[in-house]
């Protein structure tokens, strides 16, 4: 029998962060212990969903919140999100300008579906969170990355961004705080990006999932600095509220001049064809935003210690250099001998995995140009596990001089 034909669209999809697990699983079959430093899931380590959020989920099910919800989301959750955005990011978002999604991931898919036609371009930070690349391609578009500069702590190169705008550009994505680099963008930089977007009449898609996981620097939400540039905000509950597996996120439209009306209506239609987001989880989302918030400070404090340790250790290893992450929970070190000792960052990551069991993600999986020569790791594990993993990396680098 002939193979069933698959679409071109799907064959282009990649997700480096999870694709590398295939190699780790094969190795695990040989008895090798794997230290998974590839996925940004705090709940997989020693951070747990706060008890009041768990109780709210159980209570929601018990009390009968088990039917479909409105496609745009529960009104009380949309309202709680407006209040959270006011409290945390000092922006005014009316509940009717919020759409609840099954994680930001679904939000990325919905926005790209509504913005990108075949041949259209979308500007992404390079390196970037991979689904932005994959969804742009999925809808026949062309992801174009603008440089973020390692020497400048991975801040965007504004001139490069401007040069890459063409007649086909449909929007500018910023990820702030950034995955994979850990940068928190300067206020001036966010304003410059907004100015350019305004000049060319482009919307800014601002992914702010790590807005509450910042260390020394102050974070500025794009919508907080935007005068008249239309902003689609993407945010969610996975990281700060430790609800990764529950799949809850949201989109909001910050649009003083009503230029996102049509886009919003299209996304609402998309929301209707997938019915709704999990109803009891939305109830728990209300409890997460309106209940105690002190777990966030506690988490950031524990992460700060782990960040300091991982960053220091990496820089002490010969052949590795790493900028200090300012937000989120990733390190994105440069491996100096990629291009000589190892042909590619993928080859480095696979050899490191094979010899030590430590699983990083190859940097080119976040962008073949600006991510190359690097790997991404998480500093989520407790210090003793980080210590063991980094001892292994150090030994590997000594052996492979």
Ligand X SMILES: Cc1ncc(COP(=O)(O)O)c(C=O)c1O
* 182 near ligand X (CB under 6 A): no
Work out how close the CB of 311 gets to ligand X at its nearest, in angstroms, rounded to a whole number: 19
- If the CB atoms of residues 127 and 333 are measured against ligand X, the closer one turns out to be 127
Among the candidate windows 47-55, 73-81, 100-108, 314-322, which touches ligand X by CB under 6 A?
Answer: 100-108
Work out how close the CB of 201 gets to ligand X at its nearest, in angstroms, rounded to a whole number: 25
CA dihedral sign, ordered 177, 280, 246, 271: negative
- If the CB atoms of residues 17 and 397 are measured against ligand X, the closer one turns out to be 17
* 236 near ligand X (CB under 6 A): yes
| Residues making up the chain, counted from first to last | 401
Compute the distance between CA of residue 40 and CA of residue 386 in angstroms, rounded to an integer: 15
Taking CB under 6 A as the criterion, which residues in 270-289 touch ligand X?
A: none
* 207 near ligand X (CB under 6 A): yes
Contact string 300-329 vs ligand X (x = CB under 6 A): ------------------------------
Residue nearest to ligand X (CB): 103
- Going by the DSSP 8-state scheme, the letter that residue 174 receives in this structure is E
- Residue 81 burial class via C-beta count within 10 angstroms: exposed 0-12, middle 13-18, buried 19 and up: buried
Compute the distance between CA of residue 198 and CA of residue 206 in angstroms, rounded to an integer: 14
The single residue among 38, 221, 238, 364 that binds ligand X, judged by CB under 6 A, is: 238
> In sequence order, what are the beta bridge partners of 264?
none
Report helix angle 103-115 to 261-273, nearest 10.
120
Among the candidate windows 62-70, 103-111, 282-290, 335-343, which touches ligand X by CB under 6 A?
Answer: 103-111
Question: What does the block give as tokens for 74?
Answer: 């529960």
Compute the distance between CA of residue 349 and CA of residue 364 in angstroms, rounded to an integer: 11
* 129 near ligand X (CB under 6 A): yes
* 366 near ligand X (CB under 6 A): no
Number of Cβ within 10 Å of residue 131's Cβ equals: 18
Q: Report which of 55, 54, 65 is spatially closest to residue 280, judged by C-alpha positions.
A: 65
Contact string 3-42 vs ligand X (x = CB under 6 A): -------------------------------------x--
Work out how close the CB of 36 gets to ligand X at its nearest, in angstroms, rounded to a whole number: 14
* 49 near ligand X (CB under 6 A): no
- If the CB atoms of residues 93 and 317 are measured against ligand X, the closer one turns out to be 93
* 249 near ligand X (CB under 6 A): yes
Work out how close the CB of 200 gets to ligand X at its nearest, in angstroms, rounded to a whole number: 24
* 209 near ligand X (CB under 6 A): yes
32 φ, ψ to 5°? -70, 135
Question: What does the block give as tokens for 178?
Answer: 């950034």
Helix (H) or strand (E) holding 82: helix 75-89
- If the CB atoms of residues 50 and 236 are measured against ligand X, the closer one turns out to be 236
Longest dimension (CA), the chain: 62
The single residue among 74, 81, 104, 310 that binds ligand X, judged by CB under 6 A, is: 104
Residue whose pair of structure tokens reads 């922006």 in the numeric block: 91
The single residue among 175, 263, 299, 358 that binds ligand X, judged by CB under 6 A, is: 175
Compute the distance between CA of residue 323 and CA of residue 150 in angstroms, rounded to an integer: 7
Q: How distant is the alpha carbon of residue 234 from its chain centre?
A: 10
Using CB under 6 A, list all residues that contact ligand X: 40, 103-105, 129, 175, 179, 207, 209, 236, 238, 244, 249
């Amino acid at each position: 029998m002939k193979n069933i034909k698959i679409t071109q669209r799907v064959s282009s999809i990649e997700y480096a962060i999870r694709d590398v697990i295939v190699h780790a699983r094969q190795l695990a079959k040989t008895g090798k212990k794997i230290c998974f430093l590839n996925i940004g899931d705090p709940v997989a380590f020693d951070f747990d969903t706060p008890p009041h959020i768990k109780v709210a989920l159980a209570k929601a099910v018990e009390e009968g919140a088990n039917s479909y919800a409105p496609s745009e989301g529960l009104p009380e959750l949309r309202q709680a999100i407006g209040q959270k955005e006011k409290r945390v990011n000092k922006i005014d978002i009316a509940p009717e300008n919020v759409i609840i999604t099954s994680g930001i991931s679904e939000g990325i898919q919905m926005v790209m579906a509504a913005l990108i036609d075949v041949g259209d371009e979308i500007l992404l930070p390079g390196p970037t969170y991979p689904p932005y690349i994959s969804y742009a391609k999925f809808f026949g578009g062309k992801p174009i990355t603008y440089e973020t500069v390692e020497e400048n702590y991975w801040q965007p190169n504004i001139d490069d961004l401007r040069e890459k705008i063409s007649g086909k550009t449909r929007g500018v994505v910023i990820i702030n705080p950034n995955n994979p680099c850990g940068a928190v963008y300067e206020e001036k930089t966010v304003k410059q990006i907004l100015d350019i977007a305004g000049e060319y009449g482009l919307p800014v898609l601002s992914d702010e999932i790590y807005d509450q996981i910042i260390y020394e620097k102050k974070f500025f939400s794009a919508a907080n600095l935007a005068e008249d540039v239309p902003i689609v905000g993407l945010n969610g509950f996975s990281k700060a509220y430790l609800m990764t597996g529950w799949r809850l996120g949201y989109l909001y439209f910050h649009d003083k001049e009503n230029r996102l009306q049509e886009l919003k209506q299209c996304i609402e239609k998309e929301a209707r064809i997938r019915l709704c987001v999990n109803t009891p989880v939305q109830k728990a989302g209300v409890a997460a935003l309106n209940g105690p918030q002190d777990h966030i400070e506690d988490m950031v404090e524990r992460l700060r210690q782990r960040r300091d340790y991982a960053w220091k250790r990496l820089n002490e290893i010969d052949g590795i250099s790493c900028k200090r992450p300012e937000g989120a929970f990733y390190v994105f070190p440069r491996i100096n001998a990629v291009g000589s000792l190892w042909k590619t960052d993928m080859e480095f990551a696979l050899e490191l995995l094979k010899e030590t069991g430590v699983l990083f993600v190859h940097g080119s999986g976040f962008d073949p140009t600006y991510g190359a020569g690097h790997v991404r790791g998480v500093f989520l594990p407790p210090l003793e596990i980080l210590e063991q993993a980094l001892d292994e990396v150090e030994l590997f680098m000594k052996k492979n001089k």
